[in-house]
Structures are given as C-alpha cells and as structure tokens.
Chains A and B, each alone.
Chain A
Amino acid sequence: DAGVIQSPRHEVTEMGQEVTLRCKPISGHNSLFWYRQTMMRGLELLIYFNNNVPIDDSGMPEDRFSAKMPNASFSTLKIQPSEPRDSAVYFCASSIAGGFRETQYFGPGTRLLVL
C-alpha cells in the first residue's frame, strides 16, 4: 500500500500567489481530512470530506482557502491569495470511515513557505 500521497512536498511562493496542494488518499478509504500544523497552534483540522462531500469546513481559516474532492482518489487544497501567515505544514489524512474509532492515516505533508 502506497499510503497517503501528497504533492508537492515543499512549496515556496510569494505573497499573493495561488498555491494548490494535492492529496491522494489510500484506496478504499472514504474519509479525507486536511490539517494544518504550526508551532503556535499545533495541528488543526481544516476540512473533512466523506464520500467526496465536504462535511465540515468550519476549520478553514477564511475565504482565501478552498478545498475540493472531485473523486474518491484526489483532493486539492487551494490558497488564493497566499499570505505569509499561511506558512505551515499541511497534512492530508484518510480513513476507512469517518467514525471515531477509525484510524486516520497521514501523508508526509506539504511544507509551505510564503514569502
């Protein structure tokens, strides 16, 4: 099993540019999560999809952030326009189901630096 795949692994961009992060969940998993990790706030859930449908996006910081899941094997997180305070590590995770006993499997993360 390839695990959760994220791309790019590193991204350096300038303030105001659009950033797109990509995620391929584990095959057969129907739940997908996007998290952000910063030193100040730790790990925060941004958005949760179940069967490709956004269930909870209350963690999305503001309208500059958007996420899509067009099919069961692909999701994107987009930031437009990006700001320096968006610099963080963004993780994608997937699980077989969204239930509380299910393990979430994390990807390696995308390290984003906005200058």
Chain B
Amino acid sequence: AQSVTQLDSHVSVSEGTPVLLRCNYSSSYSPSLFWYVQHPNKGLQLLLKYTSAATLVKGINGFEAEFKKSETSFHLTKPSAHMSDAAEYFCVVNSGAGSYQLTFGKGTKLSVIP
C-alpha cells in the first residue's frame, strides 16, 4: 500500500523568501516520487521526480526536493519565491512493484505576497 501526506494545505510566503512545502509518504517498496504544480485553471506540470538516483533532485523553475528515506519525506524547496510560483503543488508517490498507480497528496496551495 502507498500513501502520501502533504502536511500543509496552504502556505503563504513573501516574494523573495524561501519556500518549503512538506510531503511525507509511505510505501511498501522503493518508491518513485514526483512533485507536480497546477496553476489556476491549468493542467498539472511536472516539477521534478525522484527515481532512486541522487537523493537531491533539481527541477524546473529553481525548485528542488530531497528524498530522505529515514524520515520518509520528500519536501519541496526553493530559495526565493517569485509571484509566478503561486499555484497548487501536489506530491505524488508510486510504490513501484510493477505498478502504474500514482497516489496524489491533497495538495498545498502556495500564496506569494508581494
């Protein structure tokens, strides 16, 4: 079984300050983990993914995430928020074992204050 918990439903930061979106997962197998972003009235865009290579994964638009097996976490960070980062972010897990099934977190809405 697999599950993912996004610890904050809403995060608000000031422009130019760091962003931290938290995600914890559970998986019976070595997982693949993804972060997707959804801007208002848009589809989901892949930010980055972890697939058992380097634990620190760099994505688009300056985002990165670190896979920590001991903490079962995959938090998303960005050093400096930009207004265009305001969106909803989804942490997604796939437990592997031949599965195509993605399990989505409930999402974290990021607001960026000018």
A43, B100: Cβ atoms closer than 8 Å: no
Q: Which residues of B contact A100 (CB under 8 A)?
A: 32, 94-100
Q: For the complex, what is the distance from the CA of A4 to the CA of B95, rounded to whole Å?
A: 25
Q: Could you mark each residue 79-114 of chain B with 1 if its beta carbon is under 8 Å from any beta carbon of chain A, else 0? A: 000000000001000111111111011110000000
A103, B45: Cβ atoms closer than 8 Å: no
Contact A103:B44 (CB < 8 A) given known A42-B104, A98-B100? no
Interface residue tally of chain A, by bracket?
20 to 34
A42, B100: Cβ atoms closer than 8 Å: no
Q: For the complex, what is the distance from the CA of A103 to the CA of B34, rounded to whole Å?
A: 8
Q: Which residues of A contact B41 (CB under 8 A)?
A: 111
The residues in A between 32 and 70 inclusive whose CB is less than 8 angstroms from any CB of B are 33, 42-43, 45, 48, 50, 55-56
Contact A45:B44 (CB < 8 A) given known A100-B95, A100-B96, A101-B51? no
A104 interface neighbour in B96, B102, B105, Cβ under 8 Å: B102
B42, A103: Cβ atoms closer than 8 Å: no
Write the nearest CB–CB distance from B24 to chain A, whole angstroms: 16
B43, A45: Cβ atoms closer than 8 Å: no
B56 touches A (CB below 8 Å): no
The residues in B between 1 and 28 inclusive whose CB is less than 8 angstroms from any CB of A are none
B43, A91: Cβ atoms closer than 8 Å: yes
The residues in B between 29 and 47 inclusive whose CB is less than 8 angstroms from any CB of A are 32, 34, 36, 41-46
Q: Which residues of B contact A101 (CB under 8 A)?
A: 32, 51, 94, 96
Q: For the complex, what is the distance from the CA of A101 to the CA of B13, rounded to whole Å?
A: 32
Q: For the complex, what is the distance from the CA of A98 to the CA of B32, rounded to whole Å?
A: 13
Q: For the complex, what is the distance from the CA of A93 to the CA of B36, rounded to whole Å?
A: 13
B100, A48: Cβ atoms closer than 8 Å: yes
Q: Which residues of B contact A (CB under 8 A)?
A: 32, 34, 36, 41-46, 49, 51, 90, 94-102, 104-107
Q: Which residues of A contact B (CB under 8 A)?
A: 4, 31, 33, 42-43, 45, 48, 50, 55-56, 91, 93, 95, 98-109, 111
